[in-house]
Amino acid sequence: MTEKDRYGETLRNREKAEEDRYAAEQDRLRLEKLRQQAQAAQATNGLCPQCGGGLNPSKTFEISIKTCGKCRGVWLPIGDLERLIARAGEGEIVRFVRSLIG
């Protein structure tokens, strides 16, 4: 191996090491962001995201919802909101029959 080739290989190894270091730092930053999001979600678990009041779980049309006694907000996942809207359009007789069937 010539002197020129040896320095070229050293340069490529250094560039690879820098890329690996950069990728590791980006991964660390992403993990830290996910940890912070998880901690924030855990801290507000059971608390209203709007006012910080306690959330009261209940069921409507077999869909779990959480209501805030302080600001009277209603919280539920978006998929459940779509199901709730679909079920609210049903007539009283259909709802009565569904409640009998379970």
Average pLDDT over residues 91-96: 70
pLDDT of residue 52: 79
Q: Higher model confidence: residue 84 or residue 4?
A: 84
Structure tokens at 23: 């990728």
Q: Residue 65 belongs to what H/E stretch?
A: strand 63-68
Cα 12 to its chain centre, rounded Å, is 40
Residue 52 has φ and ψ, to the nearest 5°, of 85, 5
Q: Residue 66 belongs to what H/E stretch?
A: strand 63-68
* Strand 63-68 with 55-60, pairing: antiparallel
The per-residue pLDDT for range 11-35, each reduced to its tens digit, is 899 999 999 999 999 999 999 988 8
Q: Residue 36 belongs to what H/E stretch?
A: helix 3-43
Average pLDDT over residues 40-52: 72
